[in-house]
């Protein structure tokens, strides 16, 4: 059985997809309601489909360009294989397909949820959560299927399905990185594009509809209302799906890369029952188990009581969620002890090789699960209704929009305190348990329940849409009340889901970062080197500028929408009376066009910066390892700053949103009950306007920004002289020579005064270029100074140069 | 003459202070106007004095506590001398004194400016800029005087005024760091306390006075108006003065520390005409020259035309500023070529020793001057009236406060793009020119014109106050018009001054950071080590949380002020009719008390975090060098994130402010002229409310936060095992032993298969503790793995432990 373990994740993924298909058929069989409801639902479906089609067309061009570039690179750089292009394309297609599945089922489930809400709340939950489950399993199933299938294929193609060497496996995994890069690139555009779309439509609908025309939310007379509902689907559903698809793939990939290095640390090969690749298979196995566990989790989400309130619905979700987390912990224990050698050797930076028991790897996975759970609570504290920070923002709303804004900003900023301490503690702990392999497995364990998390996340916007359809199709108030309960719970899960997404992105980036350092073969990233420090600054700046671009994009797109809605109110006769029909499609078209246009610049920034940092100095002939270290500094800057700005923006946005919502039920300010429509409420609405792009556009994009940056680094790594010091390299060591030139006391070695030179000559099989690393250890009065020099060129050139190294006699001896 | 060079900076400082005294007498001799004006001016003076007295009382307690702690450390850590306490206290006192001089002259100059404005605009500029000049020279003179005097004293005390060794000089400079720490600690509280004060009073005066009671700015009926004007003096004048005092001292100190290491790199001593300490004296000499140059610069600031507009006033300031920058460049050339050896050896990290000409050091100073000039232009672009970003915010105000806020935030965020690229370029270039010594000298050259910069900065709030006095004492409109011209120019210079302060703080922090790494003797700061990376995250979070605390503090203090002003309007009969007299002093007292209370928590955060990071792991017995590296990661995190948040907050705040001001002259929105009182203007006022704490409280505090963090690191450095690997150390090398254990081919060395062990035993003179650094270089098939281990204990213990090192024969030989 053990030797078949490589097929297990695929089997689980297929099982998950089959279950998804069953669930999907069940959802589709549900009653889709009357004609009016169907009509509205169709509008939303078509709008969302129109956006996705337009987006995918644009992305297809992008994929072609990148594919050509990657192909060119694979011809120039011998360690990069052309198959990376195939992996990249499949990654992009799978990611788009996953987003598409989610969006389709969400737009089909919304109207069925409305219809189910006519009968009872338990039914409404069953349908809406069923839709979420389809989406969750679709994303997770495709991710595991794609990644594992490509791994098996490349493992066969490059290694004949048998362990040969770390170097060969590195080529397998580097080629596999193309799949992840494809997925994450699509995720970036889906998140940013979707985020701009949804907020532009939202702001447009609110500013003109609610504020200027004075009609309620989701009123069918509002021309932007369909676009607004479409936005929920393309932003919160398709965007989120692509985001987590990317995270999932990147996390598992990073853990596999680091697993490969565990094997290297253990001497280059291990004898286990899994063909010697247990540490590489483990993260995939955890992901596979996670799919089945998520199915079990979703089965537990149900309520019986038709008069249930938010807390009971939340309780049902929590039951499913916690059960799946506990099951993941158990399965991690089983898989770790089964698949890993009982004790392993692992390289700890600066501490050399250490022997650790496999149980410590299990410890690291527990760290990941704890971080996932705690970050959700932290997020809920800072953004939850009735919690202290929200009440404070509510109080500050009484003195106007200015103080409301300050309070919201401050809340988002303060929330970085526990979050960052948690991440810092997690990095430390998981590393202490099992090195960077531990960090990567912590992330893998946390992401194992992705399907469950997505089900919980996606049910929110579905319920939101269902409420909108109920309003637009003028249903009984009880229907809206029921969907409102689900929607309210969905808002909380949306906030905690964002916390989960940041935590996973932070850990994944670290794992990718570690994989990068190992791939390039640099000693580490020393920020005491001025160019590295400079790049740390530049990296820190990119998330800030990215956020600003995304926010400005929302502003621009919203302005266009506002003009269009105003025009329709002015030009279409009888629109306010309900006799004239708004041109919903024009608003949908504007949002689509504007968001696609505006997502270009932030995307370019993300992809362009690391490429410039890598290739501009390369063009000037700078040392490759120095460039690799600079790029590492850039990646660290993006990660640290990106995590901070993600937490800040998501939580500030969530807090403003719920501060505004607090007024709906009424809040006590200075001893007086205050409601919607009060001056304080207006101030809170202003805060929410600011918070919208924070929490739905720029904030969630940070995750992808940092992951994609690290992935680009990983794909560039082989170009930056990766592997040149790897033992299994195509580079061959010609000779190592130690020449000692003892000075001082004649007749004996004076160990306190001597000069010792080591020359390590490396030649590259492919183009015959020789690199000589010269290390001069000069000891004067017992104090040793080490200087290093590197010479590159043809073998003759290097030998010539070596002769000129001052003050040292060099014996040149031939290889054999 | 050359041997007397050490006295030159003191002579220049004394000259500067004499000129200050002459200028001060001239200002004080100017007419202080009529009874009403004098009365108001006295209120402001007394309010400011009351705040400073209360603040200094509190800070005295702080200074006592820190002094006791430092004294305790100096008893425990042999490399720290008790004199550091004396230096610390003097640093604190000098800083407070400098702030005090500035505040006093500012509050005396304001009314004289009003009076001078009655005669002509040129006179008003002469008086107000005269006051600024007094402040600038006071700060710069005291800084150079204090630092140089202590250096001369310590140089005599520890070294007998003659060069002995790098190690002895390190003790001199470490003790001198106490002066800088004292100055920067006071600066932190002055900036934060003053910032909270000024904004609490401002918001209180505006919210109740302008908005609720509908009376104009600076109306004498407003009880908070005196507090508001006091705030300008304690925040913008005393706070800014203490800030730049701290920057100035820290910059010069850092350059001196790095100059000491230049001497070390050159073999431990150099023969020059300056007693062998030319590279250490150079930064002080540049500072000394800067004082005289600043005096020349201030003499050029004058206008003749009574009908001059803002641009002419700005032109006069620019003339003085640019002249002094050019003169600094010339003097840098002269001093560098005169004081430094023609060619120097400098250690470049990872590249070994390099020979560089002294002209490259001059190149680095030019980089500093360019950065100072460019950053001011960048700041002006993003915050200047009539510039594109401001016009955009104005446009976005038409759709409400929400879009105004988004536009302002985005502007601040985008502005990090050119600023950070500029800093990154400056780090790179100045390092490429002359290593970290170059970075420090770039900062020194930039800061050389501090006196001039402060004069330009301080004249703004003086003119603002003068306008307030004109309003309160009900002068002719022409008086207010004239002071308004000066005030408007002052707003621009305030924004560019903030850019200058950030640039100087960024470069200074880098120099301190480099000094720290060199002090602790660590190899660098490798963020690929998980604990270091974790601390990079934590460091990145601190400026964000600090900003939030400062903003919340303003909110709380402002709330108390609002309540008090409301109470006075309610309780004091005839206040609105001008017959009842407001109780100004109560408002002053509230602002004072609240700001002092609220500055504690941010202060604690700044000081507490580095201490916890250093001492908590120390208590658990963690390796000192590992802790030093972690603390370095923390410092880097604070610096990178602090610089970003400083730029973001200062520029967003400045942009909102000027967007609001744009409405005063009228702006065109959608083809329509819009003025004060419009809906768009109200939205802009909301933006300004948010921007106020950004630009006057949390934003400017970032500078001090990052500098203080790096200084604390520098002072802690000796505790973290600094010097243990320094050649001139009190630690003595007992023995170095190389044991090679050749395996393989008998009868000959097999260089491809061998194990070589180096044991370096170090013993500390003071407590006899021995450290053995064991390096094992194991070569198998030509591939070398290096592992290192460290043993610490008594000599016998260490020898015992060494015997157990696996697989290696160790010969133990005695020292002699």
**Contact, A382 vs A453, CB < 8 A?**
no
Contact A30, A115 (CB under 8 A): yes
Chain A residues close to B554, C-beta within 8 Å: 406
Q: How far is it, in rounded angstroms, from Cα A260 to Cα A255?
A: 9
A6-20, A633-647, B346-360: least confident range:
B346-360
User: Looking at beta carbons, which residues of chain B come within 8 Å of A651?
Assistant: none
Query: What share of chain B in percent tops pLDDT 90?
Result: 42
Q: Is the predicted pLDDT of residue B735 greater than 60, yes or no?
A: no
- CA B474 to chain A, closest CA, distance in angstroms equals 31
Mean pLDDT, range B637-665, rounded to an integer: 92
Instruction: Parse chain A into domains and list their residue ranges.
Output: 2-720, 731-803
How high is the pLDDT of residue A408? 95
Structure tokens belonging to residue A412 = 């988002």
Q: How far apart are CA A688 and CA A686, in angstroms?
A: 5
Q: Count other Cβ atoms within 10 Å, centred on residue A784.
A: 15
Interface mutation vs chain B, best among A210, A393, A426, A548, most B CBs within 10 Å:
A548
Cβ of A431 within 8 Å of Cβ of B349? The answer is no
Burial per residue of A154-191, b for 16 or more beta-carbon CB atoms within 10 angstroms, e otherwise? bbeebbeeebebbbbbbbbbbbbbbbbbbbbbbbbbbb
Q: Tell me how far apart the alpha carbons of residues A106 and A112 are, in angstroms, rounded to a whole number.
A: 10
Q: Find all residues with CB under 8 Å of A725, minimum gap 6, and list them.
A: A521, A731, A762
A121-130 pLDDT per residue, tens: 999 999 999 9
Q: Indicate yes or no: CB of A538 within 8 angstroms of CB of B733.
A: no
Q: Which of B205, B350, B725 to mutate to test the interface with A (most CBs of A within 10 A)?
A: B350
- Taking each helix axis from N to C terminus, what angle separates A35-76 and A166-204, rounded to the nearest 10 degrees? 140
pLDDT at A74 over 50: yes
Provide, as residue numbers in chain A, all residues whose Cβ is less than 8 Å from the Cβ of B638. none
Query: What is the structure's pLDDT at B761?
Result: 65
Looking at chain A, which residue has its C-alpha nearest residue B436?
A530
Residue of higher predicted confidence among B791 and A4: A4
User: For the segment B385-414, what is each residue's pLDDT rounded down to a tens digit?
Assistant: 888 999 999 998 888 888 899 999 999 999
Q: How many CA atoms lie within 13 A of A532 on its CB side?
A: 23
Is residue B742 scored above 90 in pLDDT? no
SS3 sequence, A520-576? HCCCCCECCCHHHHHHHHHHHHHHHHHHHHHHHHHHHHHHHHHHHHHHHHHHCCCCC
Name the residue among B111, B106, B148, B135 with its Cα closest to residue B20: B135
Q: Which two tokens stand for residue A573?
A: 């006769």
Please judge whether A349 and B733 are an interchain contact, meaning their C-beta atoms are less than 8 angstroms apart: no
| Residue B106 neighbours by CB under 8 Å, 6+ apart | B131, B135, B233, B237, B458, B461, B462, B465
For an interface test with B, give the residue of A528, A627, A688 to mutate (most B CBs within 10 A). Answer: A528
A301 confidence band (pLDDT: 50, 70, 90): very high
Inter-CA distances, A394 with A399, A405, A408, A747, B316, Å: 10, 11, 10, 87, 49
Chain A positions touching B405 (Cβ under 8 A) are 401, 405, 686, 689-690
A317-333 mean pLDDT: 94
Residues 742-771 of chain A with CB under 8 A from chain B are 751-752, 760
Q: What is the pLDDT of residues A523-557, one digit of tens each?
A: 788 888 889 999 999 999 999 999 999 999 988 88
Contact by Cβ (8 Å): B773, B803:
no
Structure tokens at A545: 């500028």
Chain A residue nearest residue B265, CA to CA: A785
Residue B526 to residue A526, Cβ atoms within 8 A: yes
Portion of chain B with pLDDT greater than 70, in percent: 89
| Residue, of B355 and B757, whose pLDDT is higher | B355
At A594 the pLDDT is 87
More confident: B550 or A796: B550
pLDDT in tens, B226-257: 888 888 888 888 888 888 899 899 999 999 99
Q: Do B735 and A523 touch (CB under 8 A)?
A: no
Residue B739 has pLDDT above 60, yes or no: no
At A757 the pLDDT is 65
pLDDT of residue B724: 40
Q: How far is A423 from chain B (nearest CA, A)?
A: 8
pLDDT at B784 (0 to 100): 66
Which pLDDT tens digit goes with each residue over B444-463? 999 998 899 999 988 888 99
For residues B482 and A379, what is the distance between their CA atoms, to the nearest angstrom? 53
Tokens of B389: 């970003």
Q: Name every chain A residue with its beta carbon within 8 A of the beta carbon of B517.
A: 528
Residue range A383-407: mean pLDDT, rounded: 89
Q: Which residue of B has its CA nearest to A685?
A: B402
Q: Choose the most confident range, by mean pLDDT, from A166-175, A574-583, B487-496, B519-528.
A: A166-175
B1-54 pLDDT, tens per residue? 677 888 999 999 999 999 999 999 999 999 988 888 888 888 888 888 888 888
Tell me the C-alpha distance between A441 and A435, whole Å.
Answer: 10
Q: Give the lowest-confidence range in A134-143, A252-261, B149-158, B203-212.
A: B203-212
Contact map slice: A 518-547 vs B, CB within 8 A: 523-531, 533-538, 540-541, 544-545, 547
All residues of chain A having their beta carbon less than 8 Å from the beta carbon of residue B526 are 349-350, 523-527
Q: Does A29 touch chain B (CB under 8 A)?
A: no
Is the pLDDT confidence value at B728 over 50? Answer: no
3-state DSSP helix/strand/coil percent for chain B, to nearest 5?
75, 10, 20
What pLDDT score does B779 carry? 67
Residue A736's pLDDT is what? 42
B733: confidence class by pLDDT, cuts 50, 70, 90: very low
Q: How far apart are CA A205 and CA B459, in angstroms?
A: 49
Q: Does B691 touch chain A (CB under 8 A)?
A: no
The answer to whether the beta carbons of residues B761 and B774 sit under 8 Å apart is no
Per the prediction, chain B carries an average pLDDT of 86
Say if the Cβ atoms of A409 and B636 lie within 8 Å: no
Residue of A nearest to B419 (CA): A541
Q: Which residue of A has its CA nearest to B689?
A: A402
Check pLDDT > 90 for residue A425: yes
Of the candidates B130, B254, B408, the one whose C-alpha atom is nearest the C-alpha of residue A406 is B408
Q: What is the mean pLDDT of residues B141-159?
A: 95
The answer to whether A637 touches A538, Cβ cutoff 8 Å, is yes
Give one DSSP letter per residue of B120-141, joined into a string: -HHHHHHHHHHHHHHHHHHHHH
pLDDT grade for B806, boundaries at 50, 70 and 90 = very low
Min Cα–Cα distance to chain B from A523, Å = 9
pLDDT-based confidence at residue A264 (cuts at 50, 70, 90):
confident
Tell me the C-alpha to C-alpha distance, in Å, between residue A741 and each of A752, A758, A779, A782. Answer: 12, 11, 11, 15
- Beta strand B754-764 with B731-742: parallel, antiparallel or unpaired? antiparallel
* 3 state DSSP class of B700: helix
Q: Residue B281 and residue B260: Cα distance in Å, rounded?
A: 10
Angle at B699 between CA B697 and CA B704, to 5 degrees: 90
What are the φ and ψ backbone dihedral angles of B545, each rounded to 5 degrees? Answer: -70, -40
Specify the higher pLDDT residue, B707 or A77: B707
Find where tokens 């790029």 sit: A631
pLDDT-wise least confident of A522-526, A692-696, B192-196? A522-526
Chain B nearest C-alpha distance from A552 (Å): 7
Q: What span, in angstroms and rounded, lies between the C-alpha atoms of B498 and B488? A: 16
Separation CA A757–CA B61 (nearest Å): 58
- Report helix angle B477-520 to B121-159, nearest 10: 20
Residue A806 has pLDDT above 50, yes or no: no
pLDDT of res. B129: 94
Listed ranges A358-372, B340-354, B390-404; the one with the highest mean pLDDT: A358-372
pLDDT at A588 over 50: yes
Sequential DSSP letters for A26-61 = HHHHS----HHHHHHHHHHHHHHHHHHHHHHHHHHH
| Residue A636 tokens, joined | 């660290």
**Among candidate residues A550, A510, A532, the one with its CA nearest the CA of residue A639:** A510
- Nearest-angstrom CA–CA distance, A565 and B399: 14
Instruction: Give pLDDT tens digits for A441-492.
Output: 999 999 998 899 999 988 888 998 899 889 888 888 899 889 988 988 888 7
CA angle B22, B23, B26 (to 5 degrees): 90
pLDDT number for residue B233: 84
Distance CA A355, CA A232 (A): 50
Check residues A492 and B186 and name the one with the higher pLDDT: B186
- How many C-beta atoms surround the C-beta of residue B724 within 10 A? 19
Query: What pLDDT is recorded for position A441?
Result: 94
Task: Express each pLDDT in B77-122 by its tens digit.
Answer: 777 788 999 999 999 999 999 988 898 999 999 999 999 999 999 9
Determine the average pLDDT of the residues in A735-756.
48
Chain B residues 61-90 with CB within 8 Å of chain A: none
Contacts of A410 in chain B (CB under 8 A): 548, 551-552, 555
Q: Are strands A754-764 and A731-742 parallel, antiparallel or unpaired?
A: antiparallel
Confidence of residue B176 (pLDDT cuts 50, 70, 90): very high
Residue with the two structure tokens 């080629």? A175
Residue A689 exposure: Cα atoms within 13 Å on the Cβ side: 28
Cβ <8 Å between A396 and B432: no
Q: What are the backbone angles phi and psi of residue B729, rounded to the nearest 5°?
A: -75, 165
User: Contact A720/B735 with Cβ under 8 angstroms?
Assistant: no
DSSP A723-764: TTT-TTSSEEEEEEEEEEEE-SSTTS--TTSEEEEEEEEEEE
């Amino acid at each position: 059985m053990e030797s078949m373990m490589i097929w297990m994740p695929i089997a689980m993924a297929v099982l998950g997809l089959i279950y998804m298909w069953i669930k999907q058929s069940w959802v589709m069989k549900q009653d889709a309601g009357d004609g009016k409801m169907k009509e509205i639902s169709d509008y939303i479906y078509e709008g969302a489909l129109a956006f996705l089609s337009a987006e995918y067309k644009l992305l297809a061009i992008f994929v072609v360009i990148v594919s050509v570039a990657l192909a060119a690179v694979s011809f120039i750089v011998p360690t990069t294989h052309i198959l990376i292009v195939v992996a990249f394309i499949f990654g992009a297609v799978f990611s788009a397909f996953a987003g598409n599945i989610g969006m389709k089922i969400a737009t089909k489930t919304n109207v069925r949820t409305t219809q189910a809400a006519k009968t009872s709340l338990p039914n409404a939950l069953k349908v809406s959560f069923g839709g979420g489950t389809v989406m969750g399993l679709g994303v997770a199933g495709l991710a595991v299927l794609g990644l594992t299938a490509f791994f098996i294929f490349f493992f066969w193609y490059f290694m004949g399905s048998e362990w040969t060497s770390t170097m060969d496996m590195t080529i397998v995994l580097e080629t596999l990185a193309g799949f992840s890069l494809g997925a994450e690139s699509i995720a970036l555009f889906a998140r940013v594009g979707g985020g701009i779309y949804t907020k532009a439509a939202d702001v447009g609908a609110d500013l003109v509809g609610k504020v200027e025309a004075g009609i309620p939310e989701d009123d069918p007379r509002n021309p932007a209302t369909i676009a607004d509902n479409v936005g929920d689907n393309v932003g919160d559903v398709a965007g989120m799906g692509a985001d987590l698809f990317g995270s999932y793939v990147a996390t598992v990939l990073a853990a596999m890369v680091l697993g490969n290095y565990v094997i290297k640390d253990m001497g280059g090969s291990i004898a286990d029952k899994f063909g010697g690749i247990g540490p590489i298979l483990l993260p995939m196995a955890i992901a596979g188990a996670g799919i089945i566990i998520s199915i079990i989790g979703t089965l537990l989400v149900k309520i019986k009581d038709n008069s249930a309130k938010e807390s009971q619905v939340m309780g049902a979700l929590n039951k499913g969620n916690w059960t799946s987390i506990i099951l993941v912990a158990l399965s991690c224990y089983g898989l770790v002890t089964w698949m890993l050698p009982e004790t392993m050797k692992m390289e700890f930076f600066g501490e050399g090789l250490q022997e650790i028991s496999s149980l410590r790897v299990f410890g690291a996975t527990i760290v990941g699960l704890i971080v996932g759970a705690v970050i959700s609570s932290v997020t809920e504290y800072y953004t939850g209704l009735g919690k202290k920070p929200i009440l404070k923002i509510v109080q500050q709303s009484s003195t106007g929009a200015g103080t409301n804004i300050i309070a919201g900003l401050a809340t988002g900023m303060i929330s970085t305190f526990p979050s960052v301490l948690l991440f810092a503690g997690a990095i430390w702990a998981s590393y202490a348990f099992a090195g960077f392999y531990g960090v990567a497995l912590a992330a893998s364990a946390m992401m194992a329940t992705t399907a469950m998390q997505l089900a919980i996340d996606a049910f929110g916007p579905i319920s939101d849409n269902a409420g909108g359809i109920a309003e637009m199709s003028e249903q009984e108030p009880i229907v809206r009340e029921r969907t409102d309960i689900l929607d309210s719970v969905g808002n909380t899960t949306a906030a905690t889901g964002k916390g989960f997404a940041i935590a996973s992105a932070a850990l994944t980036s670290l794992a990718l970062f570690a994989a990068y350092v190992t791939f390039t073969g640099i000693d580490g990233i020393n920020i005491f080197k001025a160019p590295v420090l400079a790049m740390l600054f530049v990296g820190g700046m990119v998330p800030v500028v990215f956020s600003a671009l995304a926010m400005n994009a929302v502003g621009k797109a919203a302005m266009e929408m506002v003009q269009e809605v105003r025009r329709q109110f002015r030009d279409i006769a009888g629109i306010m009376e309900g006799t004239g029909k708004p041109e919903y499609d024009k608003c949908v078209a504007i949002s689509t066009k504007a968001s696609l246009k505006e997502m270009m610049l932030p995307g370019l920034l993300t992809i362009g910066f690391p490429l410039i940092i890598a290739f501009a100095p390369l063009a000037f002939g700078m040392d490759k390892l120095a460039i690799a270290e600079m790029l590492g500094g850039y990646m660290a800057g993006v990660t640290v700053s990106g995590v901070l700005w993600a937490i800040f923006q998501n939580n500030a946005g969530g807090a403003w949103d719920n501060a505004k919502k607090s007024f709906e039920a009424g809040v006590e300010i200075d001893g007086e009950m205050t409601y919607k429509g009060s001056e304080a409420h207006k101030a809170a609405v202003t805060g929410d306007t600011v918070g919208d792009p924070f929490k739905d556009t720029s904030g969630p994009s940070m995750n992808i920004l940092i992951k994609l940056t690290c992935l680009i680094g990983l794909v560039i790594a082989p170009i930056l002289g990766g592997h040149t010091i790897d033992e299994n390299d195509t580079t061959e060591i010609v000779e190592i020579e130690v020449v000692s030139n003892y000075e001082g006391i004649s007749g004996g070695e004076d160990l306190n005064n001597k000069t010792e030179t080591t020359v390590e000559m490396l030649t590259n099989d492919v183009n015959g270029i020789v690199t000589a690393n010269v290390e001069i250890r000069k000891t004067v009065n017992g104090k040793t100074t080490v200087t290093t020099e590197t010479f590159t060129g043809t073998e003759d050139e290097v030998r010539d140069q070596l002769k000129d190294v001052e003050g040292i006699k060099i014996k040149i001896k031939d290889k054999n």
